[in-house]
Amino acid sequence: MKNKLVVITGGAGFIGSHLAEALVEDNDVVVIDNLYSGREENVPEGAKLVKADIRDYTSIAEIIREADYVFHEAAQISVEESIRDPIFTEEVNVIGTLNILNALSEGNGKMIFASSAAVYGNNQNLPLREDEPPNPISPYGVSKVAGEYYCKVFHETYGVPVVILRYFNVFGPRQSSAYAGVISIFIKRALEGKPLVIFGDGKQTRDFIFVKDVVKANILVAEKKRAEGEVFNVATGRETTILELALKIIDLTSSSSSIVFGPPRPGDIRRSLADISKLRSLGFSPEYSLEDGLAETFKWFKSEWKYF
């Protein structure tokens, strides 16, 4: 991808800033972010930051219309927050997405929509394929299902080129422990010598994928014409228990932290594992093992967070 106008909503956040970093050298990159959870210092040099809220159509419509590609990463991403405030989650994740699609229907750009494995709910027909029926168990999951349906309708009715990516458990540098990410939470607590709290028995599993592999998947589907109108799981196809993860992080950080168990959290699923054969058919293959990704994430935490 070169010499394109690329708009990244939520580009001051975790995944969006990595996308901006990967694309800014060869493209004109515009980041749209209201800095609710993003950080201005995450925006790479050379990218333009537009401080705007995707719920405010007039503040974003013009730049969206002009874009060649829109990577829509802006979202309220916390399951817990969605349970506390489902209306706010709906406004950001559904109305915000609808605003972007509406503006794209008046332009010529292609949208890559960041959806979530949360659309599957507690489906144990593993590994999960994209043709499994949605069954969300949280307002966050519902909002992502709604966003996906709007993408499909705008693709089929208005001809907007869209690709839907269902992210599983993404981790890496710049992930905020305040909003999401068991890995960032565990590393932070390990560096502080505090107990690592596991909600439930620790046998629940997740399919963890490093953020640079997620960036790779986004760029791949953006450039593939045959990906348009399709849904793809973005994961590694490997299952890790939360207890295994905690032990790996304690070992990696040489921490004295203990592991304690708390009650299960509402909205949490028991097991998560993706079938990524559909994305592999486009040429995708994860480059980072869990251990390699953890090492790079830990290196970032050591340099950026003063917990010692």
DSSP string, 195-206: PEEEESSS--EE
In 287-301, which positions are buried (b, 16+ CB within 10 angstroms) versus exposed (e)? ebebeebbebbbeeb
Nearest to 171 by CA among 141, 214, 203: 214
Q: Binning pLDDT at 50, 70 and 90, where does residue 303 land?
A: confident
Residue written as tokens 């990410």? 181
Nearest to 120 by CA among 108, 104, 132, 106: 132
Q: Which fold is adopted by the domain 5-169+208-234?
A: Rossmann fold (3.40.50)
- pLDDT for position 181: 77
Catalytic residue among 69, 120, 140, 167: 140
Segment 46-70 shows an average pLDDT of 98
- pLDDT for position 235: 98
- pLDDT for position 176: 74
- pLDDT for position 267: 63
Q: Contact, 269 vs 141, CB < 8 A?
A: no
- Is 140 a catalytic site residue? yes
Q: Contact, 61 vs 98, CB < 8 A?
A: no
Query: Which residue pairs, CB below 8 angstroms and at least 24 apart, start in 33-36?
Result: 33/9, 33/74
CA dihedral 174, 180, 182, 185 (to 10 degrees): 60
The pair phi, psi for residue 287, each rounded to 5°, is -95, -25
Interval 209-265: pLDDT, tens: 999 999 999 999 999 999 999 999 999 999 999 999 999 999 999 999 999 999 998
Q: Binning pLDDT at 50, 70 and 90, where does residue 302 land?
A: confident
Q: Is the peptide bond before 195 cis (omega within 30 degrees of 0)?
A: no
Domain borders along the chain are: 5-169+208-234, 176-207+238-272+289-301
Q: Contact, 15 vs 73, CB < 8 A?
A: yes
Q: How far apart are the first and last CA of the chain?
A: 41
Model pTM score = 0.94
Given the candidates 3.90.25.10, 1.20.1250.20, 3.40.640.10, 3.40.30.10, the CATH classification of the domain at 176-207+238-272+289-301 is 3.90.25.10
Segment 87-105 shows an average pLDDT of 98
- pLDDT for position 307: 39
pLDDT at 187 over 50: yes
Task: Tell me the average pLDDT of the chain.
Answer: 94
pLDDT at 178 over 70: no
Q: Alpha helices of 118-178 — where are they, by DSSP H?
A: 139-158
Q: Binning pLDDT at 50, 70 and 90, where does residue 308 land?
A: very low
Which residues, listed in sequence order, are joined to residue 261 by a DSSP beta bridge?
A: 198
